[in-house]
Structure 1
Amino acid sequence: MRRHFMEMDPDLARSLFEEGATLVLLEVPEGTEFGIDYNTWQVGPRFRGIKMIPPGIHFLHYSSHSIHGSGEETGPRTGIFLCLKPRDILLARWSKTEEELKFCDSEAEEEIERIRSSLQDLDRFLGPYPYDTLRKWVSLTDRVTEDTVRKLQPLNNKICSFAEVVPELAMRHTKDRLEQNLTPYDTECHSMQEGLARLPKMKQKEGTELRFSEIPKQTYPVGATPSQITQCSMDLSYALQVLLDRYYKQDPQQILGELQFAFVCFLIGNVYDSFEHWKRLLNLMCRSEDAMQKHSTLYTSLITVLYHQLGEIPPDFFVDIVSKENFLTVTLQEFFLFATNPAVDNNLRKRATKFKAHLTKKFKWNFEADPEDCAPVIVELPEGCDGE
């Protein structure tokens, strides 16, 4: 970590030392994988935290480390978004039993003030924030606000790469399992299917789930005619507007903060469900033709967000293993088709054309083939509708 401090401009280093935030992390076991934003290290024996952190949104993440007779083992990654202000000091201690960081609450204010007064003595145990990666981090999170974090982060503030699950029903006794038609544990198992049948149904532990916006399942308004249903299935603007009205009515641009939040949770937090939400949200936005005319500024900003996100992922990452179809090229193909419509704002049209050329040159993606989604769309009519 020291090399970043030595290479930093002296005036900037002084400013960050005086105004930057500090994370004091006590009793973190040696060997723990620890990181902030785009940086990851293995904790050494003298580690006590990070100093000179620029104020703003940051993502702290860590994985426990253990050594067994057969070798070393690294646990699942746990992360938390932090909203740091100038000269903030956050204090956390490592819990050996739960193998995680426990942040001190407001009752620890007296201890935090003691740390603040003796910060110079603690300085040699603190690693400086690696400023050379800050620009990249900001480009991935410039739309994420404190409000975004408060709305989307789990209630327990922990973002885990593997979901914490609990049985839907307690079933502490054999009779409880029999009532649910589950095979008792002590019965011989003859097949994998039989083994799976013995397992209770699980659900994600309450308070641990990411609280993403719910993407509407119905893409058309109540009482829509068959032709309207077909139109709303091809152009998802109605469904997008429902989502914006429900979650981002005051400022539709804030949906880009959710898009960035989901991307970071996947890219750095290793949460696959976040990637799935990112794909669904992006698909909704890219297939909304009328919305591009109504929210041209939003879509111009979307291009900037995608430009930075796609720069972080290998070009073949989005290829489906089964179909060999690149999800992103199919999705963006529709976006470029709609965004270059003469009815769209001129600035958006120009930006979309440049972005398309950039992706074609960098990734060798082909956006010219007819998208499969242009084929006739088969939709289910509302109950009671005869199609006439």
Structure 2
Amino acid sequence: MDQGLAKKLFEEGAFLILVDMPKGTEFGMDWNSWITGPKFKGVKMIPPGLHFIFYSSNGKHGGHSSPRSGFFHFFKQREIFISHWDVNNEEIQFSHKSVDEMNSLRENLKNLDKNLAPYPYDTLEKWVSLTDWINNDVMVKLQPENGKIQSVPELISESNVSPSGREMSEESVKVPRSSAVDEDGLPILKPKPGTEIKFSMIPKQWYPPNATPHEISKHSVDSSYILGQIIKNSSQPEDLLGELQFAFVCFVLGQVLDAFEQWKSLVNVLCSCDDLLKEHQKLYESLLTVFYHQLNEIPKDFFVDVVSSNNFLVSTLTILFSNLQTEGIDASLQKRGKQFQKYLTKKFKWNFKSEPDDWAPVVVEI
């Protein structure tokens, strides 16, 4: 990198300071990961905007990596974000410093320079293309109350959770033991309150309450009703794209299985929309771009079910491409849909011409 540019980025970029992170820790930011050395103390020249920091310790597991953890943060220009390594819990803890301490640290940045890894700008464009719809409001809305994204959820007994969703103290737990086990006698566990990602609720039933048999049949193949309900609970329709990207990052980089399930559910709802699609054509123009960047980052056979040999994405995207060609859809969006379908067929050898099994008519008896 040109020295003049490097100096400017050092002066204008943000800093992530990590105190006492042990040697041999897997540490990553955005689409990059490293194994830390003995002198590592953080990252410099971070471009302003959203970033995802993740890590996995090798400390207490005999050389085996611990489950991955991470967090999102919107870095401001010239911000210094300080954190330290918690030896007991083997995780990053956020540090709060006084104004005087921060000023002293800023004056000492050049002395820390040799211990700070430069942000890898060669992957910035990819990172931005995969997260450009995650604004600060979307991040705050979705991230857990404790701010941590954990690949392995912290679980507690259902009997230790109050009706308000808060964890109860041992003294206040008076629920009989039988209420905390399932029919097989196994304890019923739930994520510890404050640790779960606050994804949008997507009901399995897509039809409204008290729906007639005809309405049930209609909404079983057209997700317009349930998509409309999700959009009503969002600040703007595009927040769905932010959640789709948030879930994708949490799964791919955070290794959160529940995030993958949420991603699949969102994809299914968005691709199965017919009537409401005409009202949100700009949303679908952007959705095709989001899909393009996400699908370029996964293996070709990732979504193939080993047992059924059924590709989830082929069936859902077949429905989307069909809906994009219906009457009332703008010609430019129809063209984009055809171009994207052609691109996927060429890249992945996916066949979008055969009718999916779940397109069989849904018959509701009266």
The alignment's TM-score, normalised by the length of structure 1, stands at: 0.87
Q: Secondary structure at the match of 1:347?
A: helix
Alignment of 1:126-165 (within 5 A): 126-165=116-155
Residue 320 (structure 1) aligned with residue 313 (structure 2): no
Is the partner of 2:306 in helix, strand or coil?
coil
Aligned with 1:291: secondary structure? helix
Over 3 Å counting, the alpha-carbon distance change for 1:310 and 1:181 in structure 2 is closer
| Structure 1 Cα separation of the partners of residues 10 and 101 of structure 2 | 21
Residue 292 to residue 9, structure 1, CA distance change in 2 (3 Å) = farther
Map 1:1-388 onto structure 2 (within 5 A). 8-66=1-59, 71-105=62-96, 107-169=97-159, 179-180=177-178, 197=185, 199-248=186-235, 251-379=236-364, 387=366
Structure 2: gaps (5+ residues): 161-168
Across the aligned residues of Structure 1 and Structure 2, the Cα RMSD in angstroms comes to 2.2
C-alpha contact (below 8 Å) 1:48/1:125 kept by paired residues: yes
* Residue-by-residue CA offset, 1:245-288 (whole Å, 9 max, x unaligned): 1224xx21121000000000001000010000000001001000
Distance 1:95 1:67, change over 3 A: closer
- Aligned equivalents of 1:84, 1:246: Cα separation in 2: 27
Query: Which entry has the higher C-alpha Rg, 1 or 2?
Result: 1
Q: Is this contact kept in 2: 1:263–1:275, CA < 8 A?
A: yes
Contact 1:213–1:247 at 8 Å: present in 2 too? no
Cα distance change on mapping 1:366 and 1:9 into 2, 3 Å:
farther
Distance in 2 of aligned mates of 1:67 and 1:167: 26
Could you say what secondary structure the match of 1:207 adopts? coil
What percentage of residue pairs aligned between the two structures are identical?
A: 49
Whether the 8 Å CA contact 1:91–1:112 is kept in 2: the answer is no
User: Could you tell me whether the CA contact under 8 Å between 1:216 and 1:243 is conserved in 2?
Assistant: no
Q: Which stretches in structure 1 are left out of the alignment for 5+ residues?
A: 1-7, 184-192, 382-386
C-alpha offsets along residues 360-388 of structure 1, whole Å, 9 cap, x if unaligned? 00000000001222211145x7xxxxx3x
How far is the alpha carbon of 1:320 from its aligned partner? 1.2
User: How far 1:357 moved relative to its partner?
Assistant: 0.1
- Deviation above 4 Å: which 4+ runs of structure 1? 170-173, 176-179
Q: Distance in 1 between matches of 2:203 and 2:30?
A: 32
Contact 1:49/1:126, CA 8 A, preserved across alignment: yes
Specify whether residues 377 and 110 from structure 1 end up closer, same or farther in structure 2 by C-alpha distance, changes over 3 A only: farther
Match for residue 164 of structure 2? none
Could you tell me which amino acid in structure 2 is paired with residue 88 of structure 1? E
Amino acid at match of 1:61: F
TM-score of the two chains, using structure 2 as the length reference: 0.92
Count of aligned pairs between the two proteins: 356
Q: Distance in 1 between matches of 2:135 and 2:8?
A: 23
Deviations 1:171-204 (A, max 9, x none): 989xx89842899xxxxxxxxx99x73x532111
Indicate how the Cα distance of structure 1 residues 42 and 152 shifts in structure 2: closer, same or farther if over 3 A, else same.
same
